[in-house]
Structure 1
């Protein structure tokens, strides 16, 4: 592979639900009235069937819009809230994307700048001539009720396809600093972060450590501060991004929106999310400076290119922000985060054990939603079997892999079930037909505030099917969501 090294494509995912900060504050005001100043706007919250892995899959699908997935050579997933400690989380993402078994996959964690650090490593590998690398970052952190973090954080994921060729953003260089600045931490076994005093973090961490690194990066990269068209500072604390820009001599109008008002701080994913947002509106020739902060600083410099105009349309950050549902049910969100213990009833007592042998044998169908297409008759079916379901031609051993996850679907039948257990009742499910053939009965997702009817267009989304609480194992499958 030859050409410039940089970002070949980008994508993002923000959950549809936006929990209103006023709803959070109104419940906790009796105990923490001092949080009133943070009770404005909304934060993105994943539904009960979403986590870091499912959000990463959706960001990856957006990133790979118009890209031949067979060209992807490796992928990484950066997060500090990965669902599995000893299972390759990025490996589950790989299966859901139906990528080749021959690619490398890596989980990256341990710091809030894990996303930018993973991006740096991907760019370095791309310069060595390797195939495109799918760099993903996703975050869904828990926060203690009535804390600042509960109001300021948010859930989101972003993706960047990095490689050599015709990048939409050419990589011009980077500068990194590593220092054990403990603004917050979460030790093994802890549920919530422990944060230090905010004024000290602002003065010594953001303005001093990050400010010095930003100025050093401009010098080492030999770029004038006034030449920066877009400055991405993924720090949502009011005034910090503007203060760092002024300190470095970068124009105030170059500072990018931190998305604090309608997403919240998405942790590891936030630098890449803001970069994806910037690239969606960037013009060729613009210089984009990206910062990542966490036990040090990463600073990366990119230049947008003419290839942006050739990139196929995608939802991106703009589309994800537009696809929203205003949520004021704070209690439901606490329950979905495991922070409120409700009486679930006997119908919730079913054993959700996942036999590893069955999952292995059917991983393409379960995780990748790969069905079968009869090479003789063209009939599509799910699941793929040795004998075709065609009543006119019971052909045997003629099935070819037929991925269904990215095909359009329409509702054939549906049911709202209030008797079966669901973490978000009623349970809505039904049968959908795929464009080009094939049908499947699945659960529906993201249906609150949406009228579901026969014939409605649906989009398949990778979600949590169930959680085996006894063995701490998450089961994944695909669900149908209304097309916005």
Structure 2
């Protein structure tokens, strides 16, 4: 993206499926992204409008603190649905991110926001008692949802002297295409204004839904287009934006995979059993790995931030960062920290047919990778079909940060490699 991670002053993370109930995910994400320590971080959770709420709070924070000019807002959800229910049909896993910043040459400008608070019975999920989302009376929920979305959009337009004809893009949360159409009709939007192309293609992304709807709509932007972004969940947030720089948006889409690029790179699961195993929907005795909190803390530069060491004497790059001596020239205390590339080529590999005490979804390639610009790492490969045929020496791969296991009753993350996903 060409964005220096050290230039970001804050990170807000929004999700209804936080990893922990008492531990900040935003701080962990900031560590993995190699952001500075002197930044503001916060988690927003427990409501599907957590994403739009986080975005609004980012705007407020930048206005209130002169030392903060850039906040990264990330939304992500992996909601678990009870098997054989309509929730399972509708739910999708997804994430989106917006960088909120001050400046003159910004592609999108936030003009105003307005919020509503409404006590809704459902859907809900209790912390300890419920494994899956519950609901009571969907007719009542739909009525409150419809009223909240219409009211928040009407109010944000009224505050800014806008008519329905003035709105070019309306990206509001929905999980029912029929209700979505009724809202568009009630708002008297022109055809094509209300974004509705995701549910049947991919599903309901939770907190990321309205963000992804907006991103999808921006693939063909119009100069000075008026945009309404709406999140819903026990109330609603309405955010008014306008497109300031069409060329900047087009450049962004060219430099990122975007929604369409990720959609094209998706692969269908072989069967329902693979889905159940990956989601761990069945209770069973699993292989328990060990984990050390002290080691993770000590090795944070290597394990999370993907730093290596470069020898000042001979220029060799090595990994991890725990050594004092160069592996080539043997010089002591001549090593500098260096950020490693997240792409490389397979030097050699093996196929492991027994992983975690199970033969499900095996073999797993274990690859020795020569990283671009130096350094060699050993990583498992993911997102690969028929590895016996599709993995080869010299193959180009990219690194991706993934959860490995829950050894030590802690969620442990590390890097894996995967085939390079294409760019549009």
- Normalized against structure 2, the TM-score is what? 0.92
- 2: distance between equivalents of 1:303 and 1:270? 19
- 1: distance between equivalents of 2:193 and 2:306? 43
Match of 2:361 in 1: 424
Q: How does 1:144-223 map to 2 (within 5 A)?
A: 144-165=82-103, 166-189=105-128, 190-202=130-142, 204-223=143-162
Asked whether the equivalents of residues 176 and 213 of structure 1 are also in contact (C-alpha less than 8 Å), the reply is yes
SS class of match (2:111): strand
* Count of equivalent residues: 410
Structure 2 alignment gaps of length 5 or more: none
Asked whether the equivalents of residues 364 and 382 of structure 2 are also in contact (C-alpha less than 8 Å), the reply is no
Structure 1 alignment gaps of length 5 or more: 1-64
Q: Kindly tell me: are residues 267 and 380 of structure 1, through their superposed partners in 2, closer, same or farther at Cα, counting changes over 3 Å?
A: same
1:330 maps to 2:269 = no
Q: CA RMSD in A?
A: 1.8
Asked whether the equivalents of residues 171 and 211 of structure 2 are also in contact (C-alpha less than 8 Å), the reply is no
Residue of 43, 50, 63 corresponding to 1:127: 63
Asked whether the equivalents of residues 385 and 399 of structure 1 are also in contact (C-alpha less than 8 Å), the reply is no
1:466 maps to 2:405 = yes
- 2: distance between equivalents of 1:390 and 1:281? 51
Q: CA deviation at 1:454?
A: 1.1
Asked whether the equivalents of residues 230 and 255 of structure 1 are also in contact (C-alpha less than 8 Å), the reply is yes
Asked whether the equivalents of residues 275 and 290 of structure 1 are also in contact (C-alpha less than 8 Å), the reply is yes
Q: CA deviation at 1:314?
A: 0.7
Residue of 343, 351, 371 corresponding to 1:408: 343
- 1: distance between equivalents of 2:322 and 2:125? 47
- 1: distance between equivalents of 2:367 and 2:331? 28
Residues 261-290 of structure 1: CA deviation (Å, up to 9, x unaligned): 232111112122222222333232111111
Residue of 262, 272, 275 corresponding to 2:211: 272
Residues 100-146 of structure 1: CA deviation (Å, up to 9, x unaligned): 12222111102110000000001122234422001001100111111
Q: Kindly tell me: are residues 381 and 151 of structure 1, through their superposed partners in 2, closer, same or farther at Cα, counting changes over 3 Å?
A: same
Asked whether the equivalents of residues 183 and 205 of structure 1 are also in contact (C-alpha less than 8 Å), the reply is no
SS class of match (1:84): coil
Match of 2:259 in 1: 317
Q: CA deviation at 1:448?
A: 2.1
- 2: distance between equivalents of 1:180 and 1:386? 56
Residues 271-318 of structure 1: CA deviation (Å, up to 9, x unaligned): 222222223332321111111111001111111122324546111112
1:308 maps to 2:249 = yes
- Normalized against structure 1, the TM-score is what? 0.81
Match of 2:416 in 1: 479
Match of 2:74 in 1: 136
Q: Kindly tell me: are residues 359 and 285 of structure 1, through their superposed partners in 2, closer, same or farther at Cα, counting changes over 3 Å?
A: same
Asked whether the equivalents of residues 234 and 258 of structure 1 are also in contact (C-alpha less than 8 Å), the reply is no
